[in-house]
Amino acid sequence: MPLILLCGYPCSGKSTVASLLAGCLQTQRPDCQIEVVSEESIAGVQPVAAAATATIDPRVAIYTDANLEKQFRAEIKSKASGNPHLTHFSPLPSHTERALTGKKPSNTVVIVDANNYIKGYRYELYCTAKSMRHQQAILHCTTGLDRCREINAKAYSPTQHLYFYLELPNLPEAEKAVLGRYPEAVFSELVTRFERPNPSSRWDNPLYELCLPEDLEQEEGSSQELRTLVDQLTARILGELLSSGTKVRPNQSTVPAQSAGSNYLQVIPSAL
Per-residue DSSP letters for 183-215?
Answer: -HHHHHHHHHH-----TTSGGG-SEEEE---TT
Burial class of 67 by CB neighbour count within 10 A (0 to 12, 13 to 18, 19+)? exposed
Indicate the number of domains in the chain: 1
Confidence of residue 187 (pLDDT cuts 50, 70, 90): very high
Query: Is residue 90 over pLDDT 50?
Result: no
pLDDT of residue 122: 94
Query: Is residue 248 over pLDDT 90?
Result: no
The predicted-structure confidence for 25-48, as pLDDT tens digits, reads as follows 999 989 888 889 988 878 776 544
pLDDT of residue 1: 64
Confidence of residue 51 (pLDDT cuts 50, 70, 90): very low
Query: Is residue 245 over pLDDT 70?
Result: no
Query: Is residue 85 over pLDDT 70?
Result: no
Q: Where are the alpha helices (DSSP H) in 34-117?
A: 39-43, 59-62, 66-81
pLDDT of residue 88: 35
User: Taking residues 96-107, what's their average pLDDT?
Assistant: 55
Confidence of residue 171 (pLDDT cuts 50, 70, 90): very low
Residues 6+ apart with CB under 8 A from 40: 15, 59, 113
Lay out the sheet containing 207-210: strands in order across.
33-38, 108-113, 3-8, 136-141, 207-210
3-state secondary structure of 20: helix
Q: By residue range, what is the domain housing residue 126?
A: 3-271
The predicted-structure confidence for 195-220, as pLDDT tens digits, reads as follows 999 999 999 999 999 998 876 654 44
Average per-residue pLDDT in the chain?
75
Q: In CATH, what number is assigned to the domain containing residue 70? A: 3.40.50.300
User: Taking residues 128-154, what's their average pLDDT?
Assistant: 89
Residues 6+ apart with CB under 8 A from 266: none
3-state secondary structure of 116: coil
Distance, CA of 64 to CA of 62 (rounded, Å): 5
Q: What is the DSSP letter of 140?
A: E
Which of 93, 103, 82 shows the shortest CA–CA distance to 34?
103
Q: Which residues pair with 210 in a beta bridge?
A: 141
